[in-house]
Structure 1
Amino acid sequence: MDNNQYQQKDKYQKLVEKRAPKPNYWKNGIWAFGIGGAICVIGQCIHNKIELIMNLSHLDATNATILIMILIGALLTGLGFYDLIGKKAGAGSIIPITGFANSIVAPAMEFKREGYVFGVAARMFILAGPVLVYGITSSVIVGIIYYFYNS
């Protein structure tokens, strides 16, 4: 590329930045906090009901709540409602465990037409895979640090 092409590219980039809509960070943050908080409140209500009605220990009720929240997230994704929630909530819908369910179910549904092996199975963890890899890796590192710190 010659100097003139670089100048044109730079002018175009500045024009794009000038014309691009600016996000409203306060409004987006409030929506994320509100909807993410609502998802967590729903999870806490489910947990309390399970603990009370089924007379389970706190840990067993927690495990059951996680499973139910994953089921709800997967079901809402399958019905097409989780995308609507995500458009309004942004990170508020991604951070809770329901967002993890969405990150697995959405690619599985998208690549279903390519078959169960090369579509669903191969692409199901395309979004959740990095989360799992770095989540597990960081938990192992923190566990090792904790082990040596408390030894």
Structure 2
Amino acid sequence: MWNFAAIIFSLEIESVFSKGEKRMSGKNVTAHDVMQEKNDKLRDQKYNDYVSAVTPKHSWFANLCKAFLVGGIICVIGQALVNFYQSCGFDKETAGLYEVITLVLLSVLLTGFNIYSPLAKWAGAGTVVPITGFANSVASAAIEFKTEGQVFGIGCKIFTICGPVILYGITFTWFLGLIYWILKVMGVV
């Protein structure tokens, strides 16, 4: 019962701060109405109506298009940077290295100026998948916790979001390397 009440309370607080009460089936249903309902089936129906009313509606196709567009633009910028660095006389590998450094630097700067967050909110996964999303997660954690000091703020919290990415990236890379080595020893590869 407490868990159910906590969910209802959090939804009520969210609805107060977002758009207030919503219209459902011709009448206003609040979290209080849901909690006061004694009939289990009716309470469940009111709860489902309430949740569907306060839950924001998103179009998966629009989100897909926005993510594709922004992710594509980031990749085009990356390719333009590679082409620029190659025209400056660097080989392909070095140009790729400088491209990654430049994208990370731009991402950190945009995060610092609070431009990356609204873009990421609008574009969704389009900004998360490239290396810029990783740089944003590190920079935003550092900015958020800088008031707590160098050690307990930035030092402890900087890898909160991207730590699992590093952990699982290294772990699975090691396992794939091991599988590749075994296949190479067996003569399969």
1:43-122 aligned within 5 A: 43-53=78-88, 55-122=89-156
Instruction: Tell me how far 1:17 sits from its aligned partner.
Output: 3.7
Provide structure 2 residue ranges, at least 5 long, that are not aligned to the other structure.
2-37
User: What is the distance in 2 between the residues matched to 1:108 and 1:17?
Assistant: 35
Higher normalized contact order (CA 8 Å, seq sep 6+, divided by chain length): 1
TM-score normalised by length of structure 1: 0.89
Rg larger for: 2
Structure with higher helix content = 1
Q: 2:61 aligns with which of 2, 13, 26?
A: 26
Question: How many residue pairs are counted as aligned between the two chains?
Answer: 148
SS at match of 2:80: helix
Instruction: Tell me how far 1:87 sits from its aligned partner.
Output: 1.4
User: What is the distance in 2 between the residues matched to 1:74 and 1:81?
Assistant: 10
Instruction: Tell me how far 1:6 sits from its aligned partner.
Output: 6.7
Q: 1:138 aligns with which of 172, 179, 189?
A: 172
Say if 1:21 and 1:46 are closer, same or farther in 2 by CA, change over 3 A: same
Moved more, 69-78 or 5-14: 5-14
Provide structure 1 residue ranges, at least 5 long, that are not aligned to the other structure.
none
| Number of the residue aligned with 2:183 | 149
TM-score normalised by length of structure 2: 0.72
Say if 1:5 and 1:46 are closer, same or farther in 2 by CA, change over 3 A: farther
Instruction: Tell me how far 1:5 sits from its aligned partner.
Output: 9.0
Give the letter aligned to residue 48 of structure 1: N
Instruction: Tell me how far 1:139 sits from its aligned partner.
Output: 1.1
